[in-house]
A and B are shown apart, each in its own frame.
Chain A
Amino acid sequence: MGKILVFAEHTNGKLKRSAQELVQAAAASGNTVVAVAFGSHAGDVTAALGHNGASEVHVVKDASLDAYNPESFTANIAAIIAKVQPSIILASASSTGKDLFPRVAARLGVGVASDCTTLAINGDNVTAVKPMYSGKCFATVNFENSSTKIVLMRANQLPVAAADTSKTANVVENAAVTVDLKTLVKEIVKGASEKLDLTEANIIVSGGRGLKEAANFKVLNDLADVLGATVGASRAVVDAGWVGHGMQVGQTGKTVAPTLYIAVGISGAIQHLAGMSGSKVIVAINNDPNAPIFQKATYGIVGDALEIVPKLTEEFKKALHH
């Protein structure tokens, strides 16, 4: 049995769910789990990483690693990989993970499987399944010529069990590796929304042309607030300028797989279906009974979105406040 290195993402010292998923999956494989956390708050997640199954946690408690920088992160993770010599590396297919690990893979001369949805670890070997063509089909990723195999998993794909607070990890402090940076992150401009990103959200409420005009996204926002959901959109309304591209679900937007996806006034173009058909339960609300979205839906309602959605918001309020 070898070692699995998990790159643990956190928000100011609060471990992300995706990191819990990865540490638990690594621990369940019977391998030794070594987690890595960066930044001045890295010390705050070591206990949680231990509870979830890491036996060792490498931290680099350096403020220079608070914000993501591809060059400093690559240098620092590469140094820890050289020390730990893992056979497998697991990380989240997040903004950071997807940007960082292909560069790390190139530096190490190994393969990377990005944006995976299932994971099978067998000793030192790993295979992963990932959506291709934005979910129109799936393929198994097999590694070759790779002493270390890097898998980037999409969030919310692996189960999370209750953490065992009696388990602890051995903490290893690492000094930051300094490199001559050619990249400078000058500023991080916060988004308007404090909600989870579409790619991490457990519930998504998405709107399309059927909402008739941009201002009617308000009814979706109200519904999303009650559900704690993130709001998405079809390409048609993004291209029409109703909402920003960051909200687009589909082949040229974000690929999502929440537990519940509510599509409001979205007919279901093939490129939209590609981006959301991995959702566990799909609700479609559309005034056209022949809309293709109903072929992918679990539950369908034919009717006027603007009439139904406010009523739905009221019903959810009642159901959730019991």
Chain B
Amino acid sequence: MKIFVCIKQVPDTETKIKISPDQTGIDTAGIKWVMNPYDEYAVEEANKLRDANPGSQVWVLSVGPKARVVESLRTALAMGADEAIVVNGEGLDNFATAKALAEVIKAEGGAKVIFSGKLAIDDNASSVSQMLAEFLNVPHTTVVSKFNFNGENVLVERDIEGGAKEVVQMMTPAVVAANKGLNMPRYASLPGIMKAKKKVIKEVEFASLNIPASDIKVKYTGFALPPEKPAVKMISGDASAQASELVKLLRDEAKVL
């Protein structure tokens, strides 16, 4: 069977964000780009599913500027994915991205299971997986921390508020968006890295998918850093004095009690 994984390339979590002069985005100079952390769980789960079902293949797919996005696709290949496709496009929103993913998956003959991360840590939208499922007319579950496949259906656990979990069964094909805790992503092996370097990544131009410009629904503007905080007020004294002073300040000055 064919297993797809949709990944996104994002700035590393350690990145200090600077705003571009026109405020339409961030200053990308010097940014270290990595695979979205939640997508690593998606790649790992796809590899595990492939390994448990001989004859299966893992296809990893990403939409973005080709020149840099291929690096994250190679990371996925080094982790064990079999094939990779890049959709070269820029300035797309979640809606148009999901459309592009759906078109490419359809053109490749569809998939039994499609994995993704529960959200991308750049725009924190947690939208593409559900949109993709809708465009493919298949079920989805997001925030998944446990996955099982019995040859026909998938059984997953979805993390919801307050530490509760929903146990969900889906008919395949299905979209599964991974949460942290789903697995421990494997490190890329040296042979894996060598193989990934040589692998030919299939290229698709976004423009060739005939997705209209009106499928861009959302634009981000007015990027700004959070307002500077006033300097911290340090509380001195022994532990007892510090504790009583803090409670007094929270009650009388900050008025949050």
Interface residues of A, Cβ cutoff 8 Å to B: 67-68, 70-71, 74, 94-96, 98-100, 102-103, 105-107, 110-115, 129-146, 182-197, 199-200, 203, 244-246, 248, 251-253, 255, 259-260, 270-271, 274, 277-278, 280-281, 283-284, 294-304, 307-308, 311-312, 314-316, 318-320
Q: Are B218 and A111 in contact (CB under 8 A)?
A: yes
**CB-based contact B141/A296 at 8 Å:** no
Query: By the criterion CB–CB under 8 Å, are B124 and A188 in contact?
Result: no
Contacts A95-B160, A133-B15 given; does A111 touch B217 at CB 8 Å? yes
Is B159 touching A183 in the complex (CB atoms < 8 A)?
no
The answer to whether B239 touches A138, judged by C-beta atoms less than 8 angstroms apart, is: no
CA distance A101 to B161 in the complex (A): 17
Instruction: Identify the closest chain B residue to A128 (Cβ).
Output: B218
Complex contact A183–B223 (CB within 8 A): no
Known: A145-B215, A245-B181, A300-B233. A133 touches B141 (CB 8 A): no
B131 at the interface (CB under 8 A from A): yes
B183 interface contact, C-beta 8 A: no
> Which of A99, A200, A308 contacts B130, CB < 8 Å?
A99
Which range contains the number of B residues in contact with the other chain?
35 or more
Hey, which chain B residues are within 8 Å of A246, CB to CB?
Answer: 159, 163
User: Is the pair B131, A298 in contact by a Cβ cutoff of 8 Å?
Assistant: no
Question: In the complex, which residues of chain A have a beta carbon less than 8 angstroms from the beta carbon of B135?
Answer: 106
Known: A114-B124, A134-B124, A193-B162. A298 touches B229 (CB 8 A): yes
A113 to B162, CA, bound (A): 24
Taking CB atoms, residues of chain B closer than 8 Å to A186 are 155, 167-169
A98–B126 contact, CB under 8 A? Answer: yes
In the complex with contacts A102-B127, A137-B17, A144-B218, A95-B143 CB distance below 8 A: yes
User: Are A106 and B223 in contact, with the CB atoms below 8 A?
Assistant: no
A–B complex contacts, Cβ < 8 Å, 28 sampled: A95-B161, A99-B126, A102-B127, A102-B131, A106-B95, A133-B11, A133-B122, A137-B17, A137-B225, A139-B220, A139-B221, A139-B224, A144-B217, A145-B214, A185-B166, A186-B167, A191-B164, A195-B162, A197-B161, A200-B161, A270-B15, A300-B232, A308-B239, A308-B242, A311-B240, A312-B247, A316-B257, A318-B247
